[in-house]
Amino acid sequence: MESYNNNLSSNIRHYWMQILRRRNLFLLIFFSVLSIFTWSGFFIPAEYEAVTTFIVDNTFFESIFLKGFKVPNTDSKLSMIKEGLFSENLIKKSLQGVSSPDKKLSDDKAVTEIRSKLKININSIGEKGVSLVRISYSHRDSQFAADLVNNLTHEYIEFINNIRANNILNLTEVSQKKLIEYQQKLNELDGMIAKFLKEHPDFVPEKESPLYKNVESLQFARVDIEIKLKELETTREGLLKQLEGSGLTYIDTGLEETPSVRLARLSNQLMILSAKYTENHPDIIKIKMEIEELKKQVGQIRMQPDREANPISLQINEELKKVDNEIKKLKVKLSEISNQENAADARIKNLSNEKQEWLNLQRERLIYQKLYDDLFQKIEMAKVEFMSNPKSILVAEYAKTPLYPARPDRTKLILIGFIIGIILSAGTVIGISYINDRFNDEEDIEKELKIPVLSVIPEIIQDSEIREKKNKRILLVSGAYLLFILLLWFNELIFKYIGLRIIAF
């Protein structure tokens, strides 16, 4: 250990001597590098970075996706937020309220340029906790950078809240109409039941008979499956809609239904009507025609070129497969129940007309009651959710007009210049001492010539004094220049962190 320390100190002394031997060259390289880095910071056009930070409640990610979609992981959330913020519509909207210094640029070019300089960083705190999203944008006009980032944040939050509101409002508005329809139907059926009992005063309903019980349980099972199927179809359409990338664009247009959503709603309506009427009923024919038309429209949308494969698309595809399998299983189950019902119907046909009519009335009322209860529950849940979670995105800090340029960072440049200068100059001097054909010290002579050095005679004092005087002048000038750069660095450092500038450049 001691010999290692001795070697180390001897090596350090050796290198230090080489630097001292060629100190003027060392100073020349060091100050050249330092000057290049220092002064380039004053000539490179400055770019200012504006930063906005907002906090996103992670439950919000569940609410903006349709039911059945798995909560995305951090990467997917980042991709989702990025896709949203990078969307052309959003950037164009954000640009509308800002006076752009690049007036010559067309909208498309401006969007491309903004996209290239926009940086998004997301930090999640727990899977069910919150995510901290940081949006930054750099531009040579500090005011423009700050305004754009703030506008973009504002537009994004509004856009996301619209999605949530649209999802819930779509559900409630459409469902309220449906609920009224069901209520009217139930009232109508109650009237028909009352009328039937009035017309047949001697009729005693056999609620407890095994046949009735069987038919009733089959009806319940069928309604359950039909509702589940309806939900899965809706989920499927939602997933398809997201896969096509229509999610962000369609919902943004307002409260109008998309073809996919309308198709799902009409399919659901058709299913309910089919349970009630024959295929030749005018309402059923009308709905079928509309469904065919919508299917063509959805098909055209799906024929559009595939979007870039991203984590969300892959996840949606996975979910879609699961939903398709579930639908398949339920359809099989439904056909089994239908067979059983047909068998029960055949047995019912043997019953008297009165009993058959009563049974049909009961079955129809049961279906509508079930549909009504289910829909009512959903509407209430959606309202509670919307009321309890009014804001999922909260802006932590809006962008302020930056005073200190992000690029070039003069304090960093001076520091880098200082470090690189020392490394380069020391490296050059030591390198020269290795390749130089002159002897560096007595050890060098002994090593090269294999003869002992009997004495080292120093240069005569008078000679060294003359040279030292010259060197002192060089050192004085170098010291003064270094001090000036040091002051400059402090000046920039104070301005960067405190905002106070002692000397303005």
Least distance CB 418 / other proteins (angstroms): 24
| 3-state SS track over 471-486 | HHHHHHHHHHHHHHHH
Q: Which is nearer to other proteins, 1 or 460 (CB)?
A: 460
Give the residue among 137, 155, 129 at the shortest CA–CA distance from 56.
129
Looking at the DSSP bridge assignments, the partners of residue 131 are 56, 124
Least distance CB 11 / other proteins (angstroms): 14
Q: Which is nearer to other proteins, 339 or 436 (CB)?
A: 436
Those residues whose C-beta lies under 8 Å from the C-beta of residue 85, and which sit 6 or more positions away, are 118, 120, 135, 152, 156
Least distance CB 426 / other proteins (angstroms): 16
Return d(Cα 354, Cα 196) in angstroms, integer.
9
Q: Which is nearer to other proteins, 354 or 468 (CB)?
A: 468
Least distance CB 115 / other proteins (angstroms): 59
Q: Which is nearer to other proteins, 6 or 187 (CB)?
A: 6
Q: Which is nearer to other proteins, 76 or 471 (CB)?
A: 471
Q: Burial code of 202-222, b = ≥16 C-beta within 10 A, e = fewer?
A: eeeeeeeeeebeebbebbebb
Return d(Cα 293, Cα 407) in angstroms, integer.
56
Least distance CB 32 / other proteins (angstroms): 23
Contact 83, 248 (CB under 8 A): yes
Length of the chain: 505
Contact 215, 418 (CB under 8 A): no
Contact 442, 453 (CB under 8 A): yes
Structure tokens at 116: 């290239």
What are the DSSP calls for 66-128, one per residue? PTTPPPP-HHHHHHHHHHHHT-HHHHHHHHHTS--S-TTS-HHHHHHHHHHHEEEEEEEETTT
Q: Which is nearer to other proteins, 10 or 183 (CB)?
A: 10
Q: Which is nearer to other proteins, 103 or 438 (CB)?
A: 438
User: Between the CA of residue 397 and those of 85, 134, 135, 394, what are the distances in Å?
Assistant: 17, 9, 11, 9
Q: Angle of helix 2-21 relative to helix 410-435, nearest 10 degrees?
A: 100
Q: Which is nearer to other proteins, 390 or 458 (CB)?
A: 458
Least distance CB 33 / other proteins (angstroms): 24
Which residues would be at the binding site for other proteins (CB under 8 A)?
A: 13, 16-17, 20-21, 437-439, 441-442, 445, 448-449, 451-462, 464, 466, 468
Least distance CB 443 / other proteins (angstroms): 10
Least distance CB 481 / other proteins (angstroms): 21
Q: Which is nearer to other proteins, 70 or 472 (CB)?
A: 472
Q: Which is nearer to other proteins, 373 or 463 (CB)?
A: 463
Residue with tokens 């750099």: 138
Least distance CB 442 / other proteins (angstroms): 5
Least distance CB 440 / other proteins (angstroms): 9
Structure tokens at 498: 């405190």
Sheet with 130-139, edge to edge strand ranges: 118-125, 130-139, 48-57, 393-397
First-last CA distance in the chain:
53
